Structure 1
Amino acid sequence: MLPARFSLIGLLVFTGFVNGCQTEPEQTESEEETGEASSEITICPDQVVRGIDVSYYQGNINWEAVAGAGYQFAITRINHGDFMDPEFDDNWAGIKSVGMIRGAYQYFDPGGDVSWQAQVVIDKLGKIAPGDLPAVIDVESTDGLPPAQVAQAVGEWLALVEEGTGKKPIIYTGKYFWQDNVQTAEFNDHKLWHAQYPNACQPPAAPPPGCGSCANIADQWDDIFVWQYSSSGSVPGIAGNVDMNVFFGTYEELLAFASEGGYAAELVSIDVPATVLRGESFTARVTVRNTGSSPFDPSTSLGTTEPRDRESVFYDSTWPANNRPASVVSSVAPGAEHTFEFAMRAPAMAGTYQEHFGLVQEGLAWFGNQGGPPDDAIELIVQVVDSPSGPAAGAGGGQALGGGGVGGEDAEDLEGESCDCRGAGTSRGSDAYGAFGLLLLGAALRARRSSPKKAREPRPRG
């Protein structure tokens, strides 16, 4: 990116360059100064989300360590001219595998074949999925062209890549480079990824806003999306220097932007009995609001989470599958609410159960990977108790947790007048237990004979 490459009389010096078999096109013009801006600083961040951008210069990256250090988005390079970044595929997959928001950029040569460069991006990214950032054009070279021709080439690339990927691309540039070498405000409807390295924000100083500096962007924009504020960061899981970035806003706002055109919902309410009987069938209702830009349809389902797609211990034969209690029946427009109403069958063993559900667009994506809700947001806690007609099944066994892979078998029918009153694990031949049971039975019969007209009380629900 801009501040990470330096040129002097046509010679590029790459810090950490180790691959002598592949070479990248040379930059022959002076790069923009990226220290303290001399004109008035205009935009100061309030809340930020930390992220990084990478290429093969960072080598093999441990993305779990990066995510564990609190970085929530990453943008990786696709290519520069005919030099295809050898780490792109691994980085693209690795970022997603740890739940970070991902994006990709191309170092753009305005003097090169614009259609070919755009097609490289389209072939790599395809139709960009909700949850991923739009493609980025890295504009920091003129190839000796005047501003009007640079602007024309940039415009052609933007149009082709937007059509090919389905998302409006982001522009990466610096204030002075753009003002001197591109000059146009024609593309200010594209998000700006701004490069500027204030001295106060260089490691080990705190990142913005903690370093006290603000972003001074090109005059053609009035807002900023991401600020690349340093090229000398140190990040767990990565050897050597790393480009450091902050998104201006909250994580929820970044995720919502990445998920435009995708699926999102927020939990409105959960209605489920707090206590049920062993083996009892009961009704649950989960109401959500469609906060995404795509309607729900019959492919929108409620599925088990924590972990995803496991068999539920509350499985009922009316479910579409043992990990799908319900699906949407008809279209639910953005902004509208929908209630999933479904039967649940209590397990045969008494205890306190936790069950988690999430929304999934079958064959496309889990909502937790796009606009939410997260996998642990829809949580049902149900206490399963014994029938009053007999002792506990599995008495003395402690809590049973529904998220742990316990089978979702139909329990025995406990609703009849008679039942096997032995709990799970009780022995068959205790004389004292049998005598005590006969005494109780006799007392119950006497009570019924003495009150023949008394209505039978409903079974208690706790």
Structure 2
Amino acid sequence: MKSALFTGAAVTLGLLLASIGSAQANAESTGSHQPTPQARQHGIEKAGDAYMGWVQNTTTKSAAPAVMAPAASVEGIDVSSHQGNVNWAGQWSAGKRFAYTKATEGNYYTNPYFAQQYNGSYNVGMIRGAYHFATPNDSSGANQATYFLAHGGGWSRDGRTLPGALDIEYNPYGATCYGLSQASMVAWIRDFLNTYKARTGRDPVIYTNLDWWSQCTGNSTAFNSTNPLWVARYASAPGTLPGGWPFHTIWQYSSTPIDQDRFNGDQSRLVALANG
């Protein structure tokens, strides 16, 4: 009787310790992605909530800047879980002809609205693409590229699917440059890009802005001849481009009433980018 009681107590104690250990592990994982106070001001309440241009959005929610379109351009938008189910017919009627949808973040999050957003834009006739919000402090570039590809970030030469985009910008969960040196950041980005290209044959688009790229990569020029630039600048012009890129491919120029993007070329060039 004493032996059975002892055995039962030991099992109960073991289960309790395992439960505590699991709770501690989950707390540590969640703790590493606690949004900063600044991020919380922009609707980032938990891991996975990050979105393109979240810092720029602080100054442009009240009114969109007056932006003159070039002679040849195509209007588009980018969306994430913050937009929920998107009225794609309405966006088409508003003149939008391409859209990027957030697919993943780090190696821990997938957008629950991805299918509605990614397929919905395609179904109304738009050219669509997927983007990955990078968190370089969590895992390698190769790991996150693989995660992205496994959760909607792939590419096919159908004339309607754009190459995946790497969203590399301010960290909403901590240190601006994710605790990496400039050299380490460049190496991380290269690891992501190389992995994606090896799997798809396409060079991903890089979404960033001049300030972050200068701070965190030393304004690296390593990718300006291979990867299309998607520059973020909420103003009347794209301004000085980061990394020595000779021109931008996409410009995110506003967040009102939804993130607004402009392709630098006509529809035929957008289709050419999709086809590779």
Q: TM-score, normalised by structure 1?
A: 0.44
Match of 1:191 in 2: 228
Name the CA distance, whole Å, in 1 between partners of 2:234 and 2:83: 20
AA aligned opposite 1:134? P
Aligned equivalent of 1:100, options 113, 126, 129 = 126
Q: Report whether the alignment pairs 1:71 with 2:96.
A: yes
Aligned equivalent of 2:167, options 114, 138, 162 = 138
Name the CA distance, whole Å, in 1 between partners of 2:50 and 2:78: 20
AA aligned opposite 2:269? E
AA aligned opposite 1:185? T
- Over the aligned positions, Cα root-mean-square deviation in angstroms equals 2.7
Residues 1:185 and 1:125: Cα distance change in structure 2 (over 3 Å): same
Residues 1:65 and 1:253: Cα distance change in structure 2 (over 3 Å): same
Paired positions, count:
220
Match of 2:143 in 1: 116
Alignment map for 1:29-108 (pairs within 5 Å): 31=55, 45-81=70-106, 82-108=108-134
Name the CA distance, whole Å, in 2 between partners of 1:158 and 1:83: 19
Alignment map for 1:155-194 (pairs within 5 Å): 155-183=190-218, 184-189=220-225, 190-194=227-231
Contact 1:34–1:197 at 8 Å: present in 2 too? no
Q: Which stretches of structure 1, 4 residues or more, deviate above 3 A after TM superposition? A: 7-11, 30-36
Match of 1:225 in 2: 249
Match of 2:26 in 1: none
Contact 1:118–1:161 at 8 Å: present in 2 too? yes
Contact 1:125–1:165 at 8 Å: present in 2 too? no
| Alignment gaps of 5+ in structure 1 | 1-6, 37-43, 202-212, 234-241, 261-462
Deviation at 1:35, TM superposition (A): 7.1
Q: Report whether the alignment pairs 1:12 with 2:40.
A: yes
Contact 2:196–2:204 at 8 Å: present in 1 too? yes
Deviation at 1:10, TM superposition (A): 6.2
Match of 2:9 in 1: none
Residues 1:164 and 1:253: Cα distance change in structure 2 (over 3 Å): same
Contact 1:32–1:176 at 8 Å: present in 2 too? no
AA aligned opposite 2:275? S
Deviation at 1:120, TM superposition (A): 1.6
Aligned residue for 1:232, secondary structure, equals coil
Deviation at 1:71, TM superposition (A): 0.4
Deviation at 1:24, TM superposition (A): 2.7
Residues 1:181 and 1:129: Cα distance change in structure 2 (over 3 Å): same
Match of 1:384 in 2: none
Name the CA distance, whole Å, in 1 between partners of 2:79 and 2:186: 26
Aligned residue for 1:77, secondary structure, equals strand
Residues 1:250 and 1:49: Cα distance change in structure 2 (over 3 Å): same
Aligned-residue identity in percent: 31
* Residues 273-325 of structure 1 deviation map (CA, whole Å, 9 limit, x = unaligned): xxxxxxxxxxxxxxxxxxxxxxxxxxxxxxxxxxxxxxxxxxxxxxxxxxxxx
Residues 1:252 and 1:13: Cα distance change in structure 2 (over 3 Å): same
AA aligned opposite 2:158? P
Name the CA distance, whole Å, in 1 between partners of 2:153 and 2:55: 29
Name the CA distance, whole Å, in 1 between partners of 2:267 and 2:112: 30
Q: TM-score, normalised by structure 2?
A: 0.72
Q: Which moved more, 1:52-61 or 1:63-72?
A: 63-72
Q: More relative contact order in 1 or in 2 (CA 8 Å, sep 6+)?
A: 2
Match of 1:150 in 2: 185
Match of 1:128 in 2: 156
* Residues 66-90 of structure 1 deviation map (CA, whole Å, 9 limit, x = unaligned): 1122100000001112121111122
AA aligned opposite 2:262? V
Name the CA distance, whole Å, in 2 between partners of 1:214 and 1:14: 23
Q: Report whether the alignment pairs 1:245 with 2:274.
A: no
Residues 1:129 and 1:13: Cα distance change in structure 2 (over 3 Å): farther
Deviation at 1:46, TM superposition (A): 3.6
Larger Rg: 1
* Residues 415-442 of structure 1 deviation map (CA, whole Å, 9 limit, x = unaligned): xxxxxxxxxxxxxxxxxxxxxxxxxxxx
